[in-house]
Amino acid sequence: MLLDKFLPSEYVKSIYDINPEELKKRGIRGIITDLDNTLVEWDRPHATEKLIAWFAEMKRANMKIMIVSNNNEERVRIFSEPLNIPFIHKARKPIGSAFRKAMKIMGLTKEETVMIGDQLLTDIFGGNRAGIYTILVVPVAKSDGFFTKFNRKVERGIMANFKRRGLINWEESN
């Protein structure tokens, strides 16, 4: 079914449910992660202490990380640079080029990469099309930036379809 391109490989409540050993068992060595409402609230400029600890855990496990966001350079740079994490801004997910660029920078294949994000239409659809393992997280905040609001309406429809078919079962946060 066409909609199944929007179905994540896996879904968790938050990134803190994702641990490096589980990823390694799948042969994954690198993470492409969305920023807004995946790592922190869309309107929080910097990482939290908890998130910094999570990144440190990933790095200790030799997991490579890239932040790939559709948001503008200022937002993504101010967030990513203090963490020393490479990033791609204005990534235009779900288009495939940013996914390919991120894998090239990490020096990893699609089999070795995971995409983590909170949106079906950009993160999960894009990751699936790029042939990457995809993990959907519940959005950190109940609110969204302007451009995401429209996507959320479409997403709710797709989510309802998945629930009806028993493919996904969690309580949406909104």
> Residue from 15, 20, 23, 37 that binds Mg ion (CB under 5 A)?
37
Residues 101-120 that bind Mg ion (CB under 5 A): 118
> Residue from 23, 34, 88, 116 that binds Mg ion (CB under 5 A)?
34
Which residue, 63 or 116, has its beta carbon nearer to Mg ion? 116
Q: Please state the closest distance from residue 169 (CB atom) to Mg ion, in A.
A: 22
Q: Please state the closest distance from residue 36 (CB atom) to Mg ion, in A.
A: 4
Which residue, 29 or 79, has its beta carbon nearer to Mg ion? 79
Which residue, 38 or 113, has its beta carbon nearer to Mg ion? 38
Which residue, 37 or 128, has its beta carbon nearer to Mg ion? 37
CA distance 51 to 6: 27
Q: Is 144 in the site for Mg ion (CB under 5 A)?
A: no
**Considering only 29-37, 55-63, 82-90, 125-133, which stretch makes contact with Mg ion by CB under 5 A?**
29-37
Beta-carbon contacts of residue 15 (< 8 Å; ≥ 6 apart): 33, 38, 39, 51, 54, 116, 137
Which residue, 70 or 113, has its beta carbon nearer to Mg ion? 70
87 phi, psi to nearest 5 deg? -145, 160
> Residue from 20, 36, 125, 162 that binds Mg ion (CB under 5 A)?
36
Beta-carbon contacts of residue 122 (< 8 Å; ≥ 6 apart): 34, 70, 93, 94, 151
Per-residue exposure over 110-145, b if at least 16 CB sit within 10 Å of its own CB, e if not: eebbbbbbbbbbbbbbbbbebebbbbbbbbbbeebe
